[in-house]
Each structure stands twice: as C-alpha cells, then as structure tokens.
Amino acid sequence: DTGVSQNPRHKITKRGQNVTFRCDPISEHNRLYWYRQTLGQGPEFLTYFQNEAQLEKSRLLSDRFSAERPKGSFSTLEIQRTEQGDSAMYLCASSLRYRGQMNEKLFFGSGTQLSVL
C-alpha cells in the first residue's frame, strides 16, 4: 500500500492559464474522489468516480473544471482559464467499495496546493 499520490505538490500559475493535476489512487481502489479545501475551511466535495465513470459532480464544479479517469486508475483534474478564486488545496481520495457495503474508508492524498497570481 503506497498510498494516494498527488502531483504536483505545489502549482503556481498566472490568472487565465490552464492547469492540470494528477491523482494516483491506491492500486485496487475502484472509487476516486476530488475535494477542494480553501484556507480556514474544511474540504468540499467536487466529484467522484467509480472506475472510469464520473458518477456525481458538485455545483461547485464550474464548466472550467473537468475531471477524468480514463482507465479507471489515475485521475486528472483540469482547470481552464484559472481565476484567483481557484487558489486552494485540491485533495484526492480513493476507496474500495464492495457491492452491498454500507460505507467505505477513504484514503486521502497530501493534496496539490494551487496558487493563482
């Protein structure tokens, strides 16, 4: 178990640029979640995947945000035309969910800190 890996750890960009983050979940995990955490706040749910299918998206996820998990393994989160308000820590988490399971345990990565200048 190597844990959930997120890259890069830090990203500084200029307003209007596009950025992409990557998340590598724990290898056998079928679910992958993206959360966003701003300073002084708790994490906020953005979206989640079961295998390659994106099952839910938060209203927080504007049309400038897109997430993919093309082969049901790693995931990318892209933000187009970044704004200063996008500055936050972007957290990825993964879990293994069995059919009929009541709930699963989330394993979080250390996050990608985005700063938009």
Partner 1 sequence: AQSVTQLGSHVSVSEGALVLLRCNYSSSVPPYLFWYVQYPNQGLQLLLKYTTGATLVKGINGFEAEFKKSETSFHLTKPSAHMSDAAEYFCAVTRNFGNEKLTFGTGTRLTIIP
Residue type, 85: G
Q: Does 31 bind partner 1 (CB under 8 A)?
A: yes
Spatial separation of the C-alpha atoms in residues 90 and 79, rounded to whole Å: 11
SS3 3: coil
- Give 16 or 55: the residue with its C-beta nearer to partner 1: 55
Answer for which of 7, 51, 62, 110 binds partner 1 (CB under 8 A) is 110
Count of residues for the chain?
117
Name the residues that contact partner 1, by CB under 8 A: 3-4, 31, 33, 40-45, 48, 55-56, 91, 93, 95, 97, 102-111
